[in-house]
Structure 1
C-alpha cells in the first residue's frame, strides 16, 4: 500500500561515476508509522478503533533523576540516578492500558521501520561504500537533529541506534540529538513563527477547497456513510486531510479500513485534493522562501564549508528527523515533487561529491629518479550534488543546462548551480518577511 514505508534499497543503490568521491551526506527522514493525530471514522460502519494498542515497546524507559540536595551541575552529575518507569495512557474513565498509544504517537511498527532505516544506512555508507567509519570515534563525524515532536525524536533515536549501535561507540562518545526551540525551527514550514506563511497557507487551503469540490462530489455516494452523512470535502466535517490521515495511518499499521478506501481511484482522488490543499503554495517563490528557504540555506552552507575545507571539516553524515510536509516541501521547492503524499519513513538524501582528476602518467624524470621526482597527485576540480528520494535519483530542473551538471549525468548538479538556486530561495530577512501579513491579501 502507498501508506507503507519504502525500504532503502542498498543493493540497488546507483554508484557514482568513478571520478566522483563522496564527501558528505544529508538525510531528511519522515518519522515512522504512527497513530492518527485525531479521532475519526470511529462510528459504524467505518468502525476504525479509537484506542490503538500498538505502543508496547515505548512504554518502559529510564529517566534521569537528581538527588534532592544537588544544587549545581557538578552535584547533579554526582547524584544522578536512573529511575525505571512505565508510561500508560489513561482514559476518561480512569482506566488504562500499558500498550495504548497517544494520538499521533510512533507505533511499534514505526519504531521498527525507522530502526531498519538506520540499519540500511549503515549497510550502505559503512559496509558497502566504506564512507563512514565502523565506529563513532569522533562526534564531529555525525550530526543528528529532530523537530521537537516526540514521534520524530523517537524515530531519530531508532535511526541512530540502527546506524551506530551502542557497541560501536568509542569510550566517552555519547551522540547528541539536537532539537531547536519552536520559533527557530526550520525542518518544516514554520507557520507558528511566521505569520505571513500562516496566512498564505490558509489562503491556498481555501482556494483548494473551492477548486477541488467538483472532483470530490462523486465520492459522497460511496463515502459519506462513514462520516455521519456529511459530504466529502477539503473543508468538511471532518476535514478531508483528517480522513486521509486516519486511513493512511490505519493501513500502515495493519488496521482494517472500509473496502472503499482500498479503491485506487478513490484514494487517488482524495490524495490529489489533499496534496493540492497542503502544497499548492509551493508553486510561488514567496511560499518557497518562507517555508523551505532557511532549511536549504543551512544545507547549502554546510556543503559549501565541506567543499572549501575538505578533510579539515570532519562532518560526514547529517540525519534530520522531520515530517511529511518537509519532504514534500523540499521536493516542491526544487521542482521535483511527484504530487504523492510521502510515506512513513520516507527519506530525501542530498549527497555531496568531489570530482578528482586521475594521476598523470609518470614523467621521464620520475622514471629516472623514482619517488624523489615531483609527482602529479589527484586534485579537486569541482563538487556535485545528487538528490535522491525513495531510491530514485532526481534530476533538478535548474541544473539541466550544459555546464550545470556532470556531463552525461544530469542527476549530478554542480555545487555552484545548486548554491545559486538556493541563494535565490533564501530570505534576506526571514523574520521581517514573516511580519508582512498585514500588508498582503490572502492568495
Structure 2
C-alpha cells in the first residue's frame, strides 16, 4: 500500500514532535553549575627573607624579597587559561564585570598574580582590544586590607585566645610526639642557619619556614646552595614546614583554632554560596588571590588538609550545582598538579556532591558570629 503525502506529512510531524520532546526533556533534566568560588595561592616568588648565615642577599633578586617572579607570572597565566577552559560555557567568553568578582590580599605578589591570572582568563577579543600590540585588558581587583575584618591572610595573630592555643600546642603531647624525631636535626640546623634552636621550634616566628623557603626559592632559580643543603636536608626541612603549618591550624584543638582562623573564610564562602541560591543573578564566580597559609587554614578548618605544602598557583575550588530536583549541592576540588585534573575533595561526614544544607550543618561548629569576643575568651 502506497504512502500518501498526508501520511508522510503526519509521520514527519510526529517525528519532529518526538525530537522536540526529547530536547526539552534533556534541557530540564540533569544538574546545572550555578556558582563557583576559587581560592588560589600566588605564583613563584623570591624568598620572604634570608636567614643569618644565608649565602645570598636581597639585592640578588630582581625585585627584592617576597616578589612575584616571571616564572610565577607564567604559572598564573596557565591557571587563568585553565579556568577559562574549565568554565567555558559557564562564564561568558569575554569579560563581563557583573559575572566575576576578584579579591586579593594587600600584598604585591597576590595582586600581581591575580592580574596575570585574569590576563589568561580574559584575553581581549574584538571590541575589547584597545591596543593590538598589547593583548591585555584592565580588570578590577579588590584589595582586602589586613586590618579589614581579616579573612584572607592567616594566621591572624591579633587574637589573644589563638596565641594562647599556639602556646598550648607547643607544649601538648600531640606536638611533642611529632617534633621529637627532629630534635637532633633542629640543633644541627641552628648551627647551619644561625638561628637558635628555640626560634626554629617556635611556630609564631616562622624562622624554620624561612630557612626551608629560602633554599626552595634559591634551588628553583639555580642559586648556589650551601654545601649542607643536600636533598635529604631540604626534604626534612619540608617535612618540618608541613608540621609547622599543621600545628598553626590543627594537631591540637583544631576545631577551636578553625573558629578563630580558617573558619572566617569558610563562613564568607558559605555566605556567598547561600546568597547565590537565594538571589540568583548575573554573578557567577568569586575569586580570592591569597597565600599557602590561606589554603592551609581553609583546608584545616574543613578537615581536608592533605599534609602537604600548597604549591605555587595551587587552587581550591567550590562549585555550586542545582540538581534536577531543585536542591543545591557543593562539590570541592583542589588543583595542585598541572599534569592532571583537580583532585576531588569530600567534606568529612558528607558525600562528594554534598547537599548545601548538610554542608552548612557540618561546618557550623567552626563558624562564629562574634570573632572579637571569641578571641578575648
TM-score range, shorter chain: 0.7 to 0.9
Q: Is it true that 1:116 corresponds to 2:116 in the alignment?
A: no
Query: Given that residues 263 and 298 in structure 2 are in contact (C-alpha distance below 8 angstroms), is that contact kept between their aligned partners in structure 1?
Result: no
Q: Is it true that 1:227 corresponds to 2:178 in the alignment?
A: no
Q: Secondary structure at the match of 2:298?
A: helix
Q: Which has the higher strand share?
A: 1
Q: Secondary structure at the match of 2:353?
A: strand
Q: Which has the higher helix share?
A: 2
**The 10-residue stretch of structure 1 (190-199 or 322-331) with the greater mean CA deviation from structure 2:** 190-199
Structure 1 partner of 2:321:
353
Instruction: Specify which of 320, 324, 331 is matched with residue 299 of structure 2.
Output: 331
Query: Given that residues 273 and 320 in structure 2 are in contact (C-alpha distance below 8 angstroms), is that contact kept between their aligned partners in structure 1?
Result: yes
Distance 1:176 1:317 in 2: 14
Q: Is it true that 1:422 corresponds to 2:363 in the alignment?
A: yes
Instruction: Please list, as runs of the form range in 1=range in 2, the aligned pairs for 1:257-272 lying within 5 A after superposition.
Output: 257=225, 258=227, 260-263=229-232, 266-267=236-237, 269-272=239-242
RMSD: 3.1
Rate the CA distance shift 1:37–1:206 in 2: closer, same or farther, 3 A: farther
Displacement of 1:144: 0.2
Is there any run of 5+ residues in structure 2 with no aligned partner, and where? Answer: 1-28, 131-136, 336-341
Distance 2:126 2:85 in 1: 14
1:151-191: CA deviation from partner (whole Å, max 9, x where unpaired): 11111111111111244775999632112232222013352
1:348-396: CA deviation from partner (whole Å, max 9, x where unpaired): 110111112xxxxxxxxxxxxxxxxxxxxxxx52111111112100111
TM-score, structure 2 as length reference: 0.77
Rate the CA distance shift 1:191–1:272 in 2: closer, same or farther, 3 A: closer
Structure 1 partner of 2:255:
285
Structure 1 partner of 2:183:
217
Is there any run of 5+ residues in structure 1 with no aligned partner, and where? Answer: 1-17, 55-99, 357-379, 400-409, 437-443
Query: Given that residues 205 and 278 in structure 1 are in contact (C-alpha distance below 8 angstroms), is that contact kept between their aligned partners in structure 2?
Result: no
Q: Is it true that 1:299 corresponds to 2:269 in the alignment?
A: yes
Distance 1:174 1:333 in 2: 34
Distance 2:309 2:104 in 1: 20
Query: Given that residues 32 and 321 in structure 2 are in contact (C-alpha distance below 8 angstroms), is that contact kept between their aligned partners in structure 1?
Result: yes
Rate the CA distance shift 1:269–1:159 in 2: closer, same or farther, 3 A: closer
Rate the CA distance shift 1:292–1:146 in 2: closer, same or farther, 3 A: same
Rate the CA distance shift 1:218–1:294 in 2: closer, same or farther, 3 A: closer
Structure 1 partner of 2:106:
148
Aligned length: 331
Distance 1:190 1:268 in 2: 19
